[in-house]
Amino acid sequence: MPEFKTDTSALSSAPSPMRRHRFVQATCLFSAIAHTAATLMCVYAFREGNFAQFSPAKLMQFVPEHMFLWRSSCLLVLLSSISTLVFILAMREVLEEKYRYLVGIAVCLSIVACGQDVEAIGRMMVLFGDIALQGYIRQDSVQLGWLLINQSLTETFLMANLLYGMAGLCIALCLTKTRVLPRTLAIAHLPVWSIMLLASVSTFLGYLPISVVLVFTSNLALSVLSAFSGVAIDAMLPTHDPVAAKNNKSTESPATISAPEHVREPGSDEPSDMDNSGFF
């Protein structure tokens, strides 16, 4: 019968804790930059179009005149949504294994939320932009544009914020029960993700201006939270150098290496553990 040999190649190729922490740090930095850029760009576009009194006709007039600004804003918002998904995926790398079910639910919710955002923002960036360009020629394009706005706001403001908020609260609950982050920073996750839930509820109730303010606030707060989380995770990294430790181990004196317990020292009177009865 052939001897069974254990394959340890998968274990040897698994990422080390330091590499996982570096990945989480890079993800936190990416999330902070993406959310900050998206918030600043959207606030600038909001002020440039004077959307304090929002109307579909005003938006359809603004888009053809500022097409580059419109599509740049949509791209940055799309990038910030993807960074939120990646941020939740990165938190899975530093949480304990016993929370894998709750973290798995958070990952599934965030994937669905990101899909909602990608579809809605892509529609607004491309399809709505083309319809707004046709609005100068065809007046009935306003109704179609309003239909697209309603669908996109439902998907991104209502559904995506709801799912992201629920996923973030699952991650925040796990962080408060572990020592991955300082307790104050872990608790700070709760209001940030709760703001997303409030934005979804206010959209459902029809308070669109309040929803816009809450979305801007949650994005900016998440950028700050991501930056502080990356700094806090940096303090968790081991301070010793594994290469130096390996070199010290290789230069260890042979005299300090103890003999195995089952080997007798020469001249000792202790009986051997080996049973020789089978030879006689």
Q: What whole-number percentage of the chain has pLDDT above 90?
A: 27
pLDDT, mean of residues 253-275 = 46
Residue 132 lies in a domain: yes
Residue 271 lies in a domain: no
Judge whether residue 253 has pLDDT over 50: no
Beta carbons of 73 and 125 less than 8 angstroms apart:
no
Query: Looking at the domain assignment, is residue 240 inside a domain?
Result: no
- Tens of pLDDT, residues 3-21: 534 333 433 333 455 566 7
**277 assigned to some structural domain:** no
Give the C-alpha separation, 170 to 100, whole Å. Answer: 11
Identify which has the larger pLDDT, 143 or 71: 71
Q: Answer with the residue of higher pLDDT: 238 or 60.
A: 60
- Within 8 A by CB and 6+ apart from 120, the residues are 151, 152, 153, 154, 155, 156, 160
What pLDDT score was predicted for residue 126?
87
- Whole domain around residue 210: which residue ranges? 16-234
Q: Whole-model pTM?
A: 0.74
Q: What's residue 61's pLDDT? A: 81
Helix/strand/coil percentages in the chain, nearest 5: 75, 0, 25
Q: Is residue 254 part of a domain?
A: no
- At 201, list the tokens: 């509820």
Mean pLDDT of 135-158: 77
The 3-state DSSP class for residue 5 equals coil
Q: How many domains does the chain have?
A: 1
For the chain, give the mean pLDDT: 76
State the distance between the two ends of the chain, measured CA to CA, in whole angstroms.
Answer: 29
Does 222 map to a domain? yes
Q: Which of 53-62, 173-182, 211-220 has the lowest mean pLDDT?
A: 53-62
250 Cα distance to chain centroid: 40
Phi, psi angles (nearest 5°) of residue 135 = -65, -25
Class of residue 61 by CB neighbours under 10 A (exposed 0-12, middle 13-18, buried 19+): middle
Structure-model confidence comparison of residues 238 and 165, the more confident one: 165
- Burial zone of 15 (CB within 10 Å; 0-12 exposed, 13-18 middle, 19+ buried): exposed
* Among 195, 157, 127, 193, CA closest to 54: 157
Query: What confidence tens digit (pLDDT) does each residue in 102-127 have?
Result: 888 999 999 999 999 999 999 888 88
With a pLDDT cut of 70, the percent of the chain lying above it is: 72
